Structure 1
Amino acid sequence: MNNVHLVDHPLVQHKLTLMRKKEASTTSFRTLLNELASLMAYEVTRDMALQDVVIETPLEPMTGKMIDGKKLVFVSILRAGTGILDGMLTVVPGARVGHIGLYRDPKTLKAVEYYFKMPQAMRDRDVVVVDPMLATGNSAIAAVERLKQLHPKSIKFVCLLTCPEGLKAFTTAHPDVPVYTAAIDRQLNDHGYILPGLGDAGDRIFGTK
């Protein structure tokens, strides 16, 4: 899986371990997720294109390098992707934002779309899809399939956790889409949850359990 990037920076791993703890409060979980997403954004945007910009320092004119944040789109898979989105936007506040609403059918574990809203002119944009968990892979696969219909310049997928089953499914369906993750956990259980994992990310972000 040459297109899978494990973000193993010590700060990322430290914050992820704190998030995994079952006693972590909703407030703590949200704060850590925001911080961790910001750290991961540095890795995900490492190869972003730069353009020359003429500026003036207090001493003299110069040509500096800047990214065009407006060409970048963060796409959040609702609802849990919102937690990663906020952290990413602290690093690239000029990025555009898209949303894909998907829910997992409890019987089939397949993704069902209920909402889709993207910026205009997607052909000119680089897309980063965010969702805390790549478990069965069904939601991520469906989201990327939908985005490919808009023919963006590039697509990357970012998650906190994944597992061998999810990675295999996603990379088989989309071998051209890089995956960035902070951990590859052991396996899925019979209910489609990652083990050891951190529970249901959406419930822990929003305090709904």
Structure 2
Amino acid sequence: MTEPAAMHDDGVVVVTHPLVQHKLTLMRERETPTGVFRHLARELSLLLGYEAMRDLPLETVEIDTPLEHMQARRLAGKKLCLISILRAGNGILDGLLDLVPSARVGYVGMYRDPETLEPVEYYLKLPEELDNRVSLVVDPMLATGHSAVAAIDRLKQAGCSNMVFVCLLAAPEGVARLRAAHPDVRIVTCAIDRGLDDHGYIRPGLGDAGDRLFGTR
């Protein structure tokens, strides 16, 4: 019996589609080069995006096809907003923009203090009318959850009220922290790994997503 393409559990969606799991395995491999890693991240973001946008509102409109007049469905309300947690979030952002080119885009600049593992904000640029938009907040890794919680705290202060957090990989610690702080924010990911090491990295993971996306160390 074929398993479902996504597993839903208490506000967390793990996308188990075979293509998603295959591409994630390629990303995990140490020898996967930067260009291939970046391309895979873009492809995975498209596949995650379909699940993350499953509940977007629709409206019925009248259109003319080449053959006849009909009633058809299209997205309703304000344009979707994609919010990247810099810098690594841009590796997912590009693929989602391929899927929804008309989406508005925002950025939250966060870096993790290497000593405390706490997030430090250094940049914020957001679209208008966030209270009337569905927003996908994107970051490849949900590790400790500190950056995700801090970013969503900041977005709620700015008026954002309807969010989905999209990541390639998550750790149980990060999922628990984000769900405890923001139970209204659904999480969509490819996998939940074993846990964190002493440096806050996801194990077995795929390494530092930002470094692998941009070829840095």
User: Which bracket does the TM-score occupy, shorter chain normalised?
Assistant: over 0.9
Q: Deviations over 1:18-55 (max 9, x none)?
A: 00000000010011000010011000111110111221
Structure 1 stretches lacking a partner, 5+ long? none
Matched residue SS, 1:55: strand
Corresponding residue for 2:3? none
What TM-score, normalized by structure 1, do the two folds share?
A: 0.97
1:19–1:29 contact (8 Å) kept in structure 2 = yes
What TM-score, normalized by structure 2, do the two folds share?
A: 0.94
Structure 1 segments of 4 or more deviating over 3 A? none
Q: Deviations over 1:137-162 (max 9, x none)?
A: 00000000011112334111011101
Is 2:14 the counterpart of 1:6?
yes
Matched residue SS, 2:150: helix
| Alignment-mate amino acid for residue 213 of structure 2 | I
Matches within 5 A, 1:157-172: 157-172=165-180
| Alignment-mate amino acid for residue 75 of structure 2 | I
Aligned residues: 209
Output the CA distance in 1 between the equivalents of 2:46 and 2:169: 16
2:81–2:104 contact (8 Å) kept in structure 1 = yes
Matched residue SS, 1:11: helix
Q: Give the share of equivalent positions with the same residue, in percent.
A: 59
Return the match for 2:57 from 49, 58, 61.
49
Moved more, 152-161 or 100-109: 152-161
Is 2:206 the counterpart of 1:198?
yes
Is 2:35 the counterpart of 1:38?
no
Structure 2 stretches lacking a partner, 5+ long? 1-8
Is 2:26 the counterpart of 1:18?
yes
Output the CA distance in 2 between the equivalents of 1:143 and 1:128: 12
| Alignment-mate amino acid for residue 148 of structure 2 | A
Return the match for 2:154 from 137, 141, 146.
146
1:70–1:96 contact (8 Å) kept in structure 2 = no
Output the CA distance in 1 between the equivalents of 2:73 and 2:50: 16
Q: CA RMSD in A?
A: 1.1
